[in-house]
Chains A and B, each alone.
Chain A
Amino acid sequence: MTIEPFGDQAVRVIFGDRIAPSVQQEISRFIRLFDQKSFNGFIEYVPSYTNIVFYYNPLEVIEGGRKDTSAQSQVIDFLTGLSRCTFESVDQGSPRRVIHIPVCYGGDFGPDLDEVADLHHLSASELIHRHSAPEYLVYMLGFAPGFPFLGGLPEELATPRRATPRLKIAAGSVGIAGRQTGAYPLDSPGGWQIIGRTPVPLFTPETDPPTLLQAGDLVKFDPISEREFERIKGTR
């Protein structure tokens, strides 16, 4: 683990240099430990694939801490100290949650399904089968409220983005972009290849936490029919 300065109001704690479930696990563990301690002037943290950024207010760090040394070095000292007890005093945490997300593949909900299947010389149903088989790991949320960055897309399904991005992709759309797969929580423009749609909201502002998925969760896409899609949509 290394800690790097990130401007004058943040530091970055780095746990690895590649995308891997073990790195994500260390990040989760460090966050669980931090949640019990925190420090004066702390604002928030944002985990990503290989690191966590801790944001702080330097004026509050100095006010609540030492005046003779920089706020940043006090934050770095605190996090370094925390890292020393990471492995002894934090339990392994609960096992990863598996969140099932129903997806209606193809048709109007997945306008790019056939094209993506053709590109990979697969039938549409084989593509659906391969996309819905793995358990994907949520590494981070970002880009838009509740948008998950998922790892674990089978390599043979990797597909370049669309040459021309769409102006509007409907909320719930499930897509592939390069080696990533994910789902759009809100209507937005985007260049992902859209292969299906889920009736389940990923961004749930009325609940705490406000997102269906959290970093560290596993996601399983369950294929459903259009009728099932409408039924689930109707119950919400």
Chain B
Amino acid sequence: MALTILEKGFAATVQDLGRSGYQRFGIIVGGVMDPPAAKLANWLVANPETAALIEFSFMGPSVLFTDDTLFAVTGADCCPELNGRKIHTGKPYLARVGQILAIRGLVSGSRGYLAVSGGVDTPVWFGSRSTYMRAGMGGYKGRLLVEHDRIPVGKPSRLAEKLMGSITGSDFGERWFFSLRRIYHGIHTIRVMPDTLWARFTEQSRTAFLNEEYQVTASSDRMGYRLEGEALALSEPLEMYSEAVTNGSIQVPPGGQPIILMTDHQSTGGYPRIAQVASVDLPLLAQLPPNSRIIFQKISVEEAENLLLRKQDYLKVLRKRVTQKLESLVP
């Protein structure tokens, strides 16, 4: 099974939930930028949530299905078409052999996901299929997808096969879809925990950081979000050695404009950090396009953990509802 890329879109890559366990060798974690959206896409096509899929940004790819394939599009809002007919995001469809899915421009949000039943079946490298661009490894040949790439697809699950056998057209009935109910426009509150170096920044910097707006600039990507706003400064110079960093670390290079490390960040960094984004807010951040405005709000580790627990409960319920819906569709 396979699908062929007809139009590459923008920055489309093969990703899964990442490659943890090898950072001490200098191998980054990587993986999808918006795990809840990627998991939802996999649930909708009856895949394990760890299955690899295609992540794209700003402009979705067009693909040709060379076999009957169950697929779903999630993440950023967009207007995909299957063989010229508008389809919904957040819902599985059955593409017939020779049909074309065109995803095109994103309406709001900045990352979308295309999952296919059976999952993208590129070789596993260090426990993951995620594309590691800098090393040129993982994913599809370690690089962005381009026209004519033939992406291998694995074997669908039993439930997916039953779903595919249960309909004659492409659509599993009108009037239903699943969504993470997010809004990507307006001003976003991103919750943070102060880093241990917090007190080393000037009082003016700390006040500005928690009260002024910061804007996501155009030079933001999977490695990091470069922000623009009031410049931040240390009270006095600090000798920093390279040390381990993580998703959501907010680094302040000498210029004073903060950078939030995102999923493709290097395993180590040597800039002072002012704060750390609460993990629960990273998927939302991953969806914010350039020019988005952010306000940082300080919370405690305990609050951050409680938010994660609540989020996990919400996703568990959503997953159950998706599975129940899929099971209700097979005779």
A interface, CB within 8 angstroms of B: 4-10, 12, 19, 43-53, 55, 58-59, 62, 70-72, 140-147, 149, 185-186, 188, 203, 205, 209-211, 215
Contacts and interface: CB of A to CB of B under 8 A. Distances in A.
Contact of A46 (B126, B241, B267, B304): B267
Contacts of B268: 46, 48, 140, 142-143
Contacts, number: 127
A146 B243 CA distance: 15
B134 interface: yes
Contacts of B312: 59
B107 interface: no
> Main secondary structure on chain B at its contact with chain A?
mixed
Contact of A205 (B125, B193, B248, B301): B125
Nearest to B250: A7
A205 B246 CA distance: 23
A58 B305 CA distance: 7
A78 B248 CA distance: 25
B135 A210 contact: no
Given A7-B248, A55-B20, A146-B25, A49 B241 contact: yes
Interface string B117-140: 000000001100000001111000
Interface of B: 20-27, 125-126, 134-137, 193, 195-196, 241-244, 246, 248-249, 266-268, 276-279, 301-302, 304-305, 308-309, 312
A47 B135 contact: no
B311 to A, nearest CB: 9
B24, B266, B278, B308: residue with the most chain A Cβ atoms closer than 10 Å: B24
B241 A142 contact: no
B308 A7 contact: no
Contacts of A143: 26, 242, 266-268
Contacts of B266: 142-144
Contact of A145 (B26, B244, B278): B26
Contacts of A142: 23, 26, 242, 244, 266-268
A53 B276 CA distance: 14
